[in-house]
Copies of this chain bind each other. A is one copy, B any other.
Amino acid sequence: MIVATQFVRFDSLPLDCGATLAPVDVAYETYGTLNESRSNAILILHALTGDAHAAGISRETGKPGWWDNSIGPGKAFDTDKYFIICSNVLGGCRGTTGPPSINPATGRPYAMSFPVITIADMVRLQKKLIDHLGIPRLLAVAGGSMGGMQALQWAADYPDSVAAAIPIATTWRHSAQQIAFNEVGRQAIMADPDWNQGDYYDSKPPARGLAIARMIGHITYMSDESMREKFGRRLRDKDKYGFDFSIDFEVESYLRYRGAQFVDRFDANSYLYITKALDYFDLTNGGGSLADVLGQTTARFLVISFTSDWLYPSYQSLEIVRALRSRNRDVTYCELSSNYGHDAFLVDISEQTEVIRSFLASTYREKAAA
């Protein structure tokens, strides 16, 4: 399946911070076919460093999408049955308007003059895209990590437009520990002299700082077990005691490689803005109870968490589930057993596939085909 990213421009987007962005571009991809009643559309929501290329092989880069193991014929999100959409988030750097985009008022990249954005802003822009595509009501919104936050926000903000929500490995508000890890990543970027207060688009980007932020991320995405299984204490091919602080252990080599690789595909200012959106995230917006907010939703919910995910631990998913149950909402909860930590929703997908497939099938029977 060769796919091409598409683009659409909207005149303007009002933001939670009070500012208005104008214009706003959105990069998106679609897979499968929209049925006649326009009732089989599913919006896939990506995590911090994802993009619109969720499935298939990119015509441009030749690379598979970030959730290609879960989107396609016969997969969890079955493109023989459903019309799948995925767009790059607001604030991103992969085609949707974000800090590296040109500010029409100045003719130069927004950089740090980009307005502060929230998860609700991202969802507001996605709603414009869905309207543009002529879809009155999504069969489902689904995503892991930050994608799960967007799924919750969709269900809360647009109850008439979502039949089902699948928040995976996520939380209804960022915890102090989650904020702390993001903050250290931001500090690493801003400590890099090449960051230059965000004004680096004419010179070299803060590659060292961004690589360190990514390394921190990678540790939190894996579990103690999965790191031990993947690397153990295996040494690189050298004497045990290096004298130059070069790489001793395979895990060091892996982190440096992944950190360096990330710099080629991601923008440091986008990393700052999107992690801030994560940290601001609180579905109650700091007032009222979670049960009150979720009590206003109408979607069916499938909430998934993973046993070894210590970045978004299961207790945070259970808080969502309890709040929904307290208001008699329709919710299915699965804690799946996995050693892969937070990455499980991307890599350890066999059980997740079964659960999502049957949840979508019953949702389609009840809500769309009825």
Contact = CB atoms under 8 A, between A and B. Distances in A.
A232 interface: yes
B228 A176 contact: yes
A245 B233 contact: no
A81 interface: no
A173 B232 CA distance: 11
Contact of A191 (B180, B208, B219): B208
A175 B186 CA distance: 26
Contact of A116 (B179, B241, B280, B313): B241
A342 to B, nearest CB: 13
A224 to B, nearest CB: 5
Interface of A: 16-17, 112, 115-116, 118, 173-177, 179-181, 183-184, 186-188, 190-193, 208-209, 211-212, 215-216, 218-219, 222, 224, 227-228, 230-233, 240-245, 248-249, 251-252, 255-256, 259, 272, 276, 279-280, 282, 286, 310, 313
Contacts of A272: 245
A200 B50 CA distance: 39
Given A188-B188, A212-B187, A245-B272, A180 B112 contact: no
Given A16-B241, A249-B279, A252-B179, A212 B233 contact: no
A191 B190 contact: no
Contacts of A276: 245, 248
Contacts of A256: 183, 187
9 contacts: A175-B227, A176-B231, A180-B215, A183-B249, A183-B252, A183-B256, A184-B215, A191-B211, A233-B282
